[in-house]
Chains A and B, each alone.
Chain A
Amino acid sequence: MPPLTTPTSGPTYWRSLDELADTPEFHKFVEGEFPNLTRQLPDSATRRQFLKLMGASLALGGMTGCRWPEEQIAAYANRPEGRTPGVPVRYATAMELGGVAAGLLVTSYDGRPIKIEGNPLHPINRGATDAFAQASVLELYDPDRSKSVIHRDGSQTLHRTWDEFAAFARSHFQPVRDREGAGLYILSESTSSPSLMAMRARVMDALPQAKWFEYEPISRDNERQGLAMVFRRPYRPHFALDRANAIVCLDADLLMNHPAAIKHARDFTAGRQVDHHGERPDGRGSMNRLYVVESSYTVTGGMADHRYPVRSADVAMIAVHLAAELKARGLRIPFWQPARGSRPGTTPGASAAKLDGTLPPDSLRPPIASIADELADHRGRCLIAVGPRQPAEVHALVCALNQALANVGRAVTYTAEPDPDRPTHLEAIASLTADLEAGQVDTVMILGGNPVYDAPADLEFGRLLASAKTSIHLGLHRNETSRSCAWHVPRAHYLETWGDARAYDGTVSIIQPLIRPLYEGKTPCEMLAMMLNEEPANAYDIVRRTFQQFHGDRDFETSWRRALHDGVVEDTRWRTSGPPVRNGTWVARLRERVKETAAKREEMEVVFRPDAGVYDGRFANNGWLQELPDPLTKLTWDNAALISPMMAEALDVKTGDMISLRVDGRKLEIAAYVMPGQAPGSMTLPLGYGRWAAGQVGNATGFNTYMLRTTSAMDFAAGAEVTKISRHYKLATTQDHHAIASAVGRRETQSRLGTLIREATVDDYTDDPEFAKHAVHHPPLVSLWEEHKYDRGHQWAMAIDLGVCTGCSACVLACQAENNIPVVGKEEVSRGREMHWIRVDRYFKGEPWAPQLACQPVTCHQCENAPCEQVCPVAATAHSKEGLNDMVYNRCIGTRYCSNNCPYKVRRFNWFNNHKDLTEIEKMIFNPEVTVRSRGVMEKCTYCVQRISAAKIAAKNERRTIRDGEITPACAQVCPTRAIVFGDLNDSASRVAKLHAADRAYTMLAELNVKPRTKYLARLRNPAGWAATQRESDNKHPT
């Protein structure tokens, strides 16, 4: 790769550093619409032979009859009330992840849950979900789930029945109960379940000597501790992004990696919608402005108007500096005193400069001062958020800042944390390990989780677990922890059993099953009931017992049915309270922390973060999540160390080169990924890969970064040493796939990309509201053929608002679940053969050390003059009267001409029968409304034509017209920001018709006259006024 330090005259938008530097690798990749195909085709002689054979076998096959196999059906003897075979039903339920519930609505076909949607009545989800919830239905049907109780007895591993385990439990727990639980340890995942909390209370009541710990590798304990320092009791912050005109995120990924991210994303977009006067329709003034300070690009960083890449360790220093600047502007920050030597009343910046040893680099001082100006101007209408990996003291300071800015009770509110006395997750796992080492553990019961894999490496939990006399693990899979335990008990999936859980704001949802447990799994509550030998022993009765506390004065059955129907229990949201900052002990600790980190300023840091696909590793065996391109890196099937372009240059490392890391005496070899916008001196290590007992899908993918994660460095650690090793690792990214601008020349690429994705500042927009339409000038568009008229009936269309699309990629998985899209594996992805019908293109703009980011979801555009239709020799793709570009799989003969002729590169070809060899369990996930495609056929986005048909039939049966918004494609339904809007263009009152007529609307590649039905709304950025002059210096190389 040519050096990046030389100013390039290259494209203003680019997808990868290879593209920016225009390397031969990039050229090689994009030649041909299905990269890497050419070398796989047999040479011409064998090809002829092949065709001859094919002809012969077709003739032979034709004689044996054309009828498909006879099908047997079993009819209902007694049909359940209201159930019609083949008609889907929806039930509300909830999924708990990391101790926070998501409210869901699950579609079930003839008893099989097949699709997850967000519950529209749920206060956080509001009809949308994240990618994890979408993929959780695949987890239910994972053939690698544990199917029976397993007992490890000496060297033997035996399958046991549930009765045998019950017999063991009866005899084993009798003496445990007799000695009041002495020597009994229970390790649970983080949970918000009122039932499990109640069971815990019963356990501690009956067995006071027992010990209960909770551990979760990804936790928000720092935040909890920080607010406990301030309020003398742990609190939980809540943000109303729609009420903030200035938002500052310090290493906080509010829009993606947060338990309330879906609500945040929706609220955030409320502040991004402005009319051509720059005014928000909700009357809250002008567009909000988002500042993000972070070490590695996040989805939130991608939406930022100003983003500053800094090491995670330096964020504390920046917070301190911001506090000083705010204080200099007359803010009264509780307990916060200027450091020694500074006098009050000095000019802004001067007092900050006096903070001993904490000065940020020169380049950051003006922006911090500007952020302080902005915040001071927006008192009561702004917010500052800190990410969970920042130390507790920083959370305390920011809490004080929000109070000083009068944001509390407005954009920032607090609720008291439940279970205030629990130890932190880190303390919990450390205590358990210490007791294991001391030999005090007689029985350890691990309720979910996988501490052998994800506990801090220095605790050596896996080794010490063997010193427990009896160990029992409840889990969905026989994972690393199960394999170290004497007993493994299969756990019921949330779609199989009863439970309850609380959302981030406290709202209780009942988890109701959609299907009976496939493998007789049990819930944590059932395990505890068995241990206590008490009734009720099944999950349903336990949850109903807990519900007694929620139904209040009303009749139990009525409120129970209501809660099941709505998916939320009324009046269970926690009351917000805004206590004043009561304590200042954190001030000294923060100063100490900043001094410490300042001393290590020159050291390389490693930063741990949950992966966007596999989270903490628990979803490693989920093929959908493995193949979901990371929103930022576009990596699939692997994690990699994200390093900055500067570091790559210094180490002479390219993406995919192996590097050796040494942190605090621990070593890890990992592939590097050169990430534009990564803070120099910081390296990001996504967690969750490199598992050895995940299952067929998840084993041996990526690198186990937990090996470097220790009790002293759960979030980030300085002092990392990096060396290059001369090995290369193949990473499968999708970032150069389906490149619209094939390599016809660099100039061409450059001139085109800016027209594919259009954006402007708010100021430019108010000056010229139609800027997006003026981006391309083309001659009048005349067709070779007489054009069809589409002025009657329904005319389906889509609008995608790039101004609010965060690139979170939930739409990719929603589409995969809805449309039976296969997983193809790492090899095929690296050949450019991933099958996703919707892709989210990610472009960088600007210089590699501090680029801007832009995302663009691309689906089939359903062109009216569809180029694909004109070249299909068998009319397998044809236009419908309603403007859909229909794809007829049973006609397709796989010439792939259509894909070749598609300017948007949205067609996908089945190179293999990707659904071959599926078990009966795996087949249960298929949506029966969508054909399962076989080898050799082309497929693509249909605008979810099955949903259109269903709505049309329902409306006609009821003798009415279709209402606007009644039809929602899967991608639009899941979208947290409602960036995708679908509807009827011929209905001038429909939202999509209005958006198509909006000033920001533009057509991608309009000059081709293909007349696509998808239009984009250009993105607006809202840089601060000083940014115009600042931009020059931003773009200077930081060295």
Chain B
Amino acid sequence: MPIEWVRVHDLPDYVYFNHSAHVSRGIGCKSCHGRVDKMAVVFQVERLSMGWCLDCHRDPEQHLRPRQWVTRMDWHPAPDEQLEQGKQLRDEYNINPSTDCSTCHR
């Protein structure tokens, strides 16, 4: 008998999200899922709304981290350095998130 898991981070059926596109570009697990390592029972931290997605697509600098640290739950930039480092990473990784409708809706 398989164990049935409850899908906590459940997007509507008309939204398409690709993990590899985010993970390989330096978006950490924590940015969307929160500190799962500290949750007794997993719950949703972020809103996962369209506005929330777009905030990051418009200003990815706020959330980028070096690729090798995407799975590190306790990673955080040195104080006041996120924006600076984010801009650098954005250039380095050539990150231009699309805000076209068909990026997520198709």
Question: Which residues in A have some Cβ–Cβ distance to B below 8 Å?
Answer: 68, 70-75, 77, 878, 880-882, 884, 886-890, 929-932, 942, 945-946, 949, 953, 956-957
Picked from A71, A888, A953, A957, the residue with its CB within 8 Å of the CB of B105 is A888
26 example contacts (A-B, Cβ-Cβ < 8 A) are as follows: A71-B6, A71-B7, A71-B10, A72-B7, A73-B4, A73-B5, A74-B3, A75-B3, A75-B5, A878-B101, A880-B100, A881-B98, A888-B101, A890-B14, A890-B105, A929-B106, A930-B106, A931-B13, A931-B14, A949-B18, A949-B103, A953-B18, A953-B21, A956-B25, A957-B20, A957-B24
Determine whether B102 belongs to the interface, using a CB cutoff of 8 Å to chain A: yes
CB within 8 Å for A886 and B105 given contacts A929-B16, A953-B20? yes
List residues 1-51 of chain B with CB under 8 A from any CB of chain A: 2-7, 10, 12-14, 16, 18, 20-21, 24-25
* Highest count of chain B CB atoms <10 Å: which of A878, A882, A886: A886
A908 CB, nearest partner CB in chain B, Å:
16
Note all chain A residues with C-beta closer than 8 A to B100.
Answer: 878, 880-882, 884, 886
Q: A68 to B7, Cβ gap below 8 A?
A: no
B32 to chain A, nearest CB (A): 17
- Is there contact, CB below 8 Å, between A70 and B6? yes
Dominant SS among interface residues on chain A: loop
Which residue of chain B has its CB nearest to the CB of A957? B24
Interchain CB contact under 8 A, A886 and B102: yes
Interface of chain B: mostly helix, strand, loop or mixed: loop
> Known contacts A68-B10, A73-B7: does B102 contact A889 (CB below 8 Å)?
no
Specify which chain A residues have a CB less than 8 angstroms from the CB of B5 in the assembled complex: 72-75
Tell me the complex Cα distance, A957–B25, Å.
8
Please, how many angstroms separate the alpha-carbon atoms of A949 and B3 in the complex? 33
Please tell me if the beta carbons of A889 and B105 are within 8 angstroms of each other in the complex: yes
Which residues between 47 and 75 of chain B lie within 8 Å of chain A, taking CB atoms?
A: none
Q: Which residues of the partner chain B approach A932 to less than 8 Å between Cβ atoms?
A: 13
Contact between chains at A77 and B12 (CB < 8 Å): no
Min CB gap B43→A, angstroms = 13
The 9 closest A-B pairs by CB, nearest first: A880-B100, A886-B101, A74-B2, A886-B102, A72-B4, A71-B7, A945-B102, A953-B21, A931-B14
Q: How far is the CB of A864 from chain B (nearest CB, A)?
A: 14
Chain B residue nearest in CB terms to A878: B101
Q: Is the CB of B13 within 8 A of A956?
A: no
**B13 closest partner in A (C-beta):** A931
Which residue on B lies nearest to A953, using beta carbons? B21
Which residue of B7, B24, B25 is within 8 Å of A70 (Cβ)?
A: B7
Across-interface contacts of A72 in B (CB, < 8 A): 4-7
Contacts of B6 in A (CB 8 A): 70-73
Known: A68-B10, A73-B7, A77-B2. A957 touches B102 (CB 8 A): no
Contacts of B4 in A (CB 8 A): 72-74
Residue numbers in A under 8 Å from B10 (CB-CB): 68, 70-71
Beta-carbon nearest neighbor of B50 in chain A: A890
What's the Cα separation between A194 and B56 when bound, in Å? 58
Residues of chain A contacted by B7 (CB below 8 angstroms) = 70-73
In the complex, which residues of chain A have a beta carbon less than 8 angstroms from the beta carbon of B105?
886, 888-890, 931
Q: How far is the CB of B65 from chain A (nearest CB, A)?
A: 17
Which listed residue (A73, A880, A956) contacts B24, Cβ 8 A?
A956
Distance of A415 Cα from B100 Cα, bound (Å): 55
A77 to B5, CA, bound (A): 12
Which residue in chain A gives the minimum CB-CB distance to B18?
A953
A1036 to B3, CA, bound (A): 77
**Residue numbers in B under 8 Å from A884 (CB-CB):** 100, 102
Given that A880-B100, A880-B101, A881-B100 are contacting pairs, would A957 and B106 also be in contact in the complex, using a CB cutoff of 8 Å?
no
In Å, the complex CA distance between A957 and B98 comes to 15
Given contacts A71-B10, A75-B5, contact A949 B106 (CB under 8 A): yes
Q: How far is the CA of A878 from the CA of B103 in the complex (A)?
A: 12
Contact (Cβ within 8 A) A890 B21: no
Query: Contacts of A70 on B, CB cut-off 8 Å?
Result: 6-7, 10
Cβ–Cβ < 8 Å partners of A68 in chain B: 10, 12
Instruction: State how many angstroms separate the Cβ of A881 from the closest Cβ of chain B.
Output: 6
Least distance between A618 CB and chain B CB atoms (Å): 34
Excluding A945-B106, A946-B106, 12 further A-B contacts by CB distance (< 8 Å) are: A70-B7, A73-B6, A878-B100, A880-B100, A880-B101, A881-B98, A888-B101, A890-B105, A942-B106, A949-B103, A957-B20, A957-B24
- How far is it, in angstroms, between the C-alpha of A816 and the C-alpha of B91 when the chains are bound? 41
Segment 72-106 of B: residues with Cβ below 8 Å from A: 98, 100-103, 105-106
Contacts of B14 in A (CB 8 A): 889-890, 931
CA distance A850 to B100 in the complex (A): 50
For the complex formed, measure the closest distance between the CB of A947 and the CB atoms of chain B, giving whole angstroms. Answer: 10
- Chain A residues with CB below 8 A from B102, complex form: 880, 884, 886, 942, 945, 949
Residue of B nearest to A75 (CB): B5
Q: Which of B5, B25, B106 has the most CB of A within 10 A?
A: B106
Interfacial chain B residues near A890, Cβ < 8 Å: 12, 14, 105
The chain B residue sitting closest to A942, CB to CB, is B106
Chain A nearest Cβ from B29, distance in angstroms: 17
Q: Which residue of A lies closest to B1 (CB)?
A: A74
B residues less than 8 Å from A886 (CB atoms): 100-102, 105-106
A930 to B4, CA, bound (A): 26
Nearest chain-B residue to A932 (Cβ)? B13
Contacts of B13 in A (CB 8 A): 931-932
